[in-house]
Amino acid sequence: GQNIDQPTEMTATEGAIVQINCTYQTSGFNGLFWYQQHAGEAPTFLSYNVLDGLEEKGRFSSFLSRSKGYSYLLLKELQMKDSASYLCAVMDSNYQLIWGAGTKLIIKP
Amino acid sequence: TAGITQAPTSQILAAGRSMTLRCTQDMRHNAMYWYRQDLGLGLRLIHYSNTAGTTGKGEVPDGYSVSRANTDDFPLTLASAVPSQTSVYFCASSEGSQETQYFGPGTRLLVL
């Protein structure tokens, strides 16, 4: 079967750095996506990785290792508004997105 | 820019009744999707459409039907609602089936 694993919840301090991990086992791989979802709102796109390595976009970076079936989302200089759930999704061989259950990130002052 | 709109925002529905959730996008995207999101689970694909006039089944299609008569609209119909269909429903679209998906604001449905 297909599986995406990520921690259920993480806590971090304002101004700090946090890394959210995602491991996956899917039938085929056509890219990995990270989305942010604030409570009661829709998911919004953050990043896309299809090749190994690090993609940096402002305070957010995303890393992919296809051989290890592993990705992480790195958030720097945390702000209170970063409190949200972060969803990892993999596009499989049928070009359908397989979603993790999400990591709820709590930022404390 | 409206992007993707969904209606209604929320609804309480009696079991056995039918209902259509509406989804409209103004980005001229070819592909559209319906997901449900339940606590503790990842988003699950119900149905999708890669282009106007075609539809396909996702992971959890039973009890739901869709149509794609034109590029902009992708309604989801529950023919006879059951309590297990209580969920938050998100519509999404992408330029092509392999591209980034963008989501509507969601419809919160409670079936009693």
Q: What pLDDT score was predicted for residue B33?
A: 98
The answer to whether the Cβ–Cβ distance between A99 and B98 falls below 8 Å is no
Spatial contact of B58 and A96, defined as CB atoms under 8 Å apart: yes
Share of chain B above pLDDT 90, in %: 95
Question: What pairs with residue A46 in β-bridges?
Answer: none
Q: State the smallest CA–CA distance between residue A54 and chain B in angstroms.
A: 18
pLDDT in tens, A56-73: 999 999 999 999 999 999
Q: What pLDDT score was predicted for residue A57?
A: 92
Looking at residues A85-102, what average pLDDT do you find?
A: 96
Q: What pLDDT score was predicted for residue B20?
A: 98
Spatial contact of B47 and B56, defined as CB atoms under 8 Å apart: yes
Cβ-based neighbours of A1, under 8 Å, separated by 6 or more: A25
- From the list B42, B58, B90, the residue facing A96 with the nearest CB is B58
Q: What pLDDT score was predicted for residue B1?
A: 56
The answer to whether the Cβ–Cβ distance between A101 and B105 falls below 8 Å is no
- pLDDT above 60: residue B94: yes
Q: How many CB pairs under 8 A join A and B?
A: 41
- pLDDT above 80: residue B105: yes
Q: What pLDDT score was predicted for residue A2?
A: 86
Joined together, the tokens standing for residue A26 give 């899917």
Q: Which amino acid is at A56?
A: E
- Residue bearing tokens 């209604």: B8
- pLDDT above 90: residue A81: yes
Looking at residues A99-107, what average pLDDT do you find?
A: 97
Looking at residues B27-49, what average pLDDT do you find?
A: 96
pLDDT in tens, A3-52: 999 999 999 999 999 999 999 999 999 999 999 999 999 999 999 999 99
Helix (H, G, I), strand (E, B) or coil at B61: coil
pLDDT in tens, B49-66: 999 999 999 999 999 999
Helix (H, G, I), strand (E, B) or coil at B24: strand
- SS3 helix, strand, coil % of chain A, rounded to 5? 5, 55, 40
Tell me if chain A has a CB within 8 Å of the CB of B58: yes
